[in-house]
Amino acid sequence: MDDCIPVSMVSEDGPFLPLLLTVFTAIFEVFLLCLAGYILAGCGILDKRTQKQLNRLNVSLFTPSLLFSKVAFFLSPEKLKELWIIPIFFVTVTLVSMSVSFLLGWIFRLKRSQRNFAMAASMFMNSNSLPIALMQSLVVTVPGLKWGHADNKNAMMGRALTYLVLYSTLGMVLRWSYGVRLLGQADPETEAGVADDENETSPLLGDRFSADEGTFRQTSSAYNDPVPHISAEAAPPPLLHPEHERRRSRFYNSFPNPPNQSLVQLPSGSTGWRRTRQRLYRAWVALNEFMTAPLWAALASLVVACVQPLQHALDDHLRPPITSAGNCSIPLTLVVLGGYFHPAPPEKVATNRHANRYADGRRSKNTASFLESVRERTGETSSTTPRPGETKTVVIALASRMVLTPFLLLPLMALCARFGFHAVFDDPVFIVSNVLLMSSPPALTLAQITQTTSGDAFERLISRTIFWAYCVVTPPLTIVYVIIGLTLSKL
């Protein structure tokens, strides 16, 4: 009768309708907040500038508060010692997800930015709202999650929060460090174009200070000679090459420099101290560029979690306001994400077709309906042509995150649960939580990261990915993975 375990478990330990209702409720919350952002964007309240400002506010205040409140007051040195297996599991899932998405992006010849986006969407999963909501429902409805006869619902939920919070902390640290740099890398041709534009509009006065040599040099090589002169060979007649002469005139300084000021020697006594100060300053600038506000919050929260007296001192006075601020992070992210779904027509088209849309403070009928916006996200509209490789990027990101990564790691999870690799694998809550994490949809904070690092470059891509992930793929796959997790917990 061992072959009938999945069937009996679905009927008794894992009721189908409550599980489906939990998934629907979690997704419906996301939908309502996104719909609010869409309506605000349609009314002109949540325009592009407001979206960017709200995102900056979220990244600077609310997201660090969320990370600090979940780590500083829930973790302890004892829990960190007991759960050393979670960082190993996190690294394994991250490397497998990144490798699968990178390989698929290379096979299908995605551009560099699209491949980076697929890697980020595959590596960074939703480890907060959806898994926590699912575990809260499963703890109540599934009696098979008890770890022994003396286990109760509060203890099971406490363990689930501990697992998910620790995993979420590691994910957010990686997200706001490597993820920011990954999504901030543009395509080579784009970088070359920007460099050309900067060359064309470079200022006439171009002086550079070299701290290593301790000298002050002119940018133009024509003035490095102590005795400036004009060569007849180097200066052709202006009538023969007028365009070339105008082109070269960009590289001359506006004012002539005396020969004795083209090379100024600085005192050599302070060279060593100046070099040390410059290196320290550069190191601080590099660290400051790498660290973000959520990373500083993660570092501070780990310090508070490891120092028990400090944790108890801050628990009564600092925890309530930090928690309240952190609770604003996910809703604000979803509202801004809903604003991404509102189609923004090009400026010329908007000028011709919607010139009187907001005349005299009254809004006329919005020509872009919600149905047209959904069609645009699914790629079915004819008015907007998807960028080359955009659909492939969405498919690769979702397949890597929610299909291929669980397919590769679930056998490893089954072996660890079967042979007792660690004592925590005997906990059914741990097994189900890990299965939900490795199959969870992409993180909603990707919208924050892409807006912070790349502006509007990934706006359409992230909105299509979130739409397909949460509205189409997540409901059926979540049911399947919960049943698989419950099956593995019985091994």
Please write the tens of the pLDDT for every residue from 86-133: 889 999 999 999 999 999 999 998 998 899 999 999 999 988 777 877
* 192 confidence band (pLDDT: 50, 70, 90): very low
Q: Is the pLDDT of residue 244 over 80?
A: no
With 70 as the cut, is the pLDDT of residue 361 above it? no
What is the structure's pLDDT at 6?
42
Closest CA relative to residue 294, chosen from 137, 25, 67, 15: 67
In this prediction, residue 95 carries a pLDDT of 95
Q: Helices 329-341 and 63-72: crossing angle, nearest 10°?
A: 140
Query: What is the pLDDT of the chain when averaged over all its residues?
Result: 72
Q: Above 50 in pLDDT, residue 412?
A: yes
The answer to whether the CB of 52 falls within 8 A of the CB of 347 is: no
Length of the chain in terms of residues written: 491
Q: Which of 134, 135, 137, 155 is nearest to 146 (CA)?
A: 155
CA distance 126 to 437: 7
Least confident segment among 42-56, 291-305, 345-359, 372-386: 345-359
Please name the helix (run of DSSP H) or strand (run of DSSP E) that holds residue 209, with its range, or none: strand 207-210
Instruction: Please report, in angstroms and rounded to a whole number, the separation of the first and last CA atoms in the chain.
Output: 14
CB 339 within 8 A of CB 40: yes
Say how far apart CA 406 and CA 305 lie, in whole Å: 32
Could you give the residue ranges of the DSSP H alpha helices within 238-385?
A: 242-248, 271-290, 293-306, 308-315, 319-326, 329-341, 347-353, 370-378
Structural domains in the chain?
Answer: 2-186+292-349+367-489 (1.20.1530)
Q: Are strands 215-218 and 264-265 parallel, antiparallel or unpaired?
A: antiparallel
DSSP label of 457 = T
* 147, burial (CB in 10 Å: exposed 0-12, middle 13-18, buried 19+): middle
By mean pLDDT, which of 39-43, 81-85, 140-144, 158-162 is the weakest? 140-144
360: left (phi over 0), alpha (psi -120 to 50) or beta: left
Residues 235-248, mean pLDDT to the nearest whole number: 46
- For helices 153-174 and 293-306, what crossing angle results, to 10°? 140
- Asked whether the beta carbons of 199 and 108 are under 8 A apart, the reply is no
- Tell me the Ramachandran region of residue 361: left when phi exceeds 0, alpha when psi lies from -120 to 50, beta otherwise: left
Dihedral sign computed on CA atoms, order 117, 463, 441, 449: positive
| Element of type H or E holding 207 | strand 207-210
Both tokens assigned to 296: 């500083």
d(CA 450, CA 5): 44
Q: Which amino acid is at 2?
A: D
pLDDT at 219: 41
3-state secondary structure of 399: helix
Q: Is the dihedral angle over the CA atoms 406, 409, 414, 416 positive or is it negative?
A: negative
Residue 264 phi/psi, 5-degree rounding, is: -110, 120
pLDDT for the residue 80:
75
Which amino acid, one-letter code, is at 130? Answer: L
Single-letter residue type at 452:
T
- Which residue(s) pair with 83 in the sheet? none
Q: What is the reported pLDDT for 185?
A: 66
How many C-beta atoms surround the C-beta of residue 384 within 10 A? 14
| Nearby residues of 79 by Cβ (< 8 Å), 6 or more positions away | 162, 166
Give the largest CA-CA distance in the chain: 99
